[in-house]
């Protein structure tokens, strides 16, 4: 009899693709084991008519899955790392991360080939305050439309609408073989990605040494170092879906180069900075960059962003 393990996952096409990727990787390394998938609906999946920034709850796409993990209803869980809060519930930890896909955001449009080519006053859809802030910093004339839904649904909505464009993560579009819709891979000089964007994370119970040992076989150490720096940056700034924060780290031999962004919701106040340091000190590097941003006024900007996000009523497309 094969030893059976149950993987928890959201039910979207992208979530199931990612869970299938991790499942296949584990099966290749451990053919003597069997892995089943259990779909768990999260609050973020159920509430689709409200902007993420207004729901005001960390763990929107992870809490119910984490509860099942703590209750031993599942043995491991696969998440998009950018959905995973930087402070996890007691008793849980990240057991492995995947090699990072291209972290950039992408521009999708029926009529325009890039953000720069958009006409004055063009309407662009995104569900992210991080993207909204940076888009408006680059193109203050744009009108940002709030949008919710999974990747295929958002693309369908765009194609059936009179909107001028939409922003999504490259990783999600690419993993679902929807690259034909991409008009531009947006340079990070314009849009710095979300913390952990393009990375899959496998979450486990802290005391599960058997699963932990198995996951060591599929963990990407380079990606782990980079996301450790990014998540430390976000954690120090106390960020989440409710505030415009972005970060991206990459390895340069034994060093990490980390960039960070903080802004308000209309892009009129923006802080961008960077830092480089040893890979072994990834967490301290993230904290140091956050401190640089705080010294430059990030706390006040984020306070204003939180207030704006909670007070601004907006229709969700």
Residues catalogued as catalytic: 83
Burial of 299 (0-12, 13-18, 19+ CB in 10 A): middle
Distance (Å) of CA 124 to CA 8, 164, 178, 221, 270: 34, 6, 19, 36, 20
Residues in the chain, how many? 317
3-state DSSP assignment of residue 13: helix
Beta-bridge mates of residue 80: 200
Q: 82 is written with which tokens?
A: 């950018």
3-state DSSP assignment of residue 4: strand
DSSP symbol at 193: P
Distance (Å) of CA 289 to CA 59, 102, 223, 227, 300: 24, 23, 19, 14, 16
Q: In what order do the strands lie in the sheet with 270-278?
A: 245-252, 255-263, 270-278
CA–CA dist 303, 284 (Å, integer): 24
The helix (run of H) or strand (run of E) holding residue 123 is: strand 123-126
Q: 163 is written with which tokens?
A: 């909107």
User: In the 3-class helix/strand/coil scheme, how is 27-44 assigned residue by residue?
Assistant: HHHCCCEEEEEEECCCHH
**Phi, psi torsion values for 77, nearest 5 degrees:** -135, 140
Question: Per 3-state DSSP, what percentage of the chain is helix, strand, and coil (rounded to 5)?
Answer: 35, 25, 40
């Amino acid at each position: 009899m094969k030893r059976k393990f149950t993987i928890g996952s959201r039910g979207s096409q992208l979530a199931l693709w990612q869970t299938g990727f991790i499942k296949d990787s584990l099966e290749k390394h451990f053919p003597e084991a069997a892995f089943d998938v259990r779909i768990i609906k999260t609050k973020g999946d159920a509430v689709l008519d409200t902007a993420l920034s207004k729901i005001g709850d960390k763990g929107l796409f992870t809490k119910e899955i984490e509860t099942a993990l703590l209750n031993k209803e599942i043995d491991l869980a696969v998440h998009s790392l950018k959905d995973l809060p930087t402070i996890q519930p007691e008793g849980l930890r990240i057991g492995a991360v995947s090699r990072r896909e291209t972290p950039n955001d992408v521009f999708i449009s029926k009529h325009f080939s890039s953000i720069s080519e958009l006409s004055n006053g063009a309407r662009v859809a995104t569900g992210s305050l991080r993207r909204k802030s940076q888009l408006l910093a680059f193109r203050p004339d744009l009108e940002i439309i709030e949008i919710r839904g999974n990747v295929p649904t958002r693309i369908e909505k765009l194609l059936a609408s009179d909107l001028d464009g939409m922003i999504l993560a490259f990783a999600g579009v690419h993993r679902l073989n929807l690259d034909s819709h991409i008009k531009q891979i947006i340079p990070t000089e314009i849009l710095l990605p979300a913390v952990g964007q393009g990375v899959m994370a496998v979450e486990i119970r802290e005391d599960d040494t058997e699963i932990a040992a198995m996951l060591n076989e599929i963990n990407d150490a380079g990606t782990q170092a980079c996301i450790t720096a990014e998540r430390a940056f976000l954690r120090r700034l106390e960020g989440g879906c409710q505030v415009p924060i972005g970060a991206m780290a990459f390895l340069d031999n034994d060093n990490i180069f980390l960039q960070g962004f903080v802004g308000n919701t209309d892009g009129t106040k923006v802080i961008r900075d960077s830092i480089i340091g040893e890979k072994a000190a990834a967490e301290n590097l993230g904290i140091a960059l956050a401190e640089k941003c705080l010294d430059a006024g990030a706390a006040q900007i984020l306070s204003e962003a939180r207030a704006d996000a909670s007070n601004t009523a907006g229709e969700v497309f």
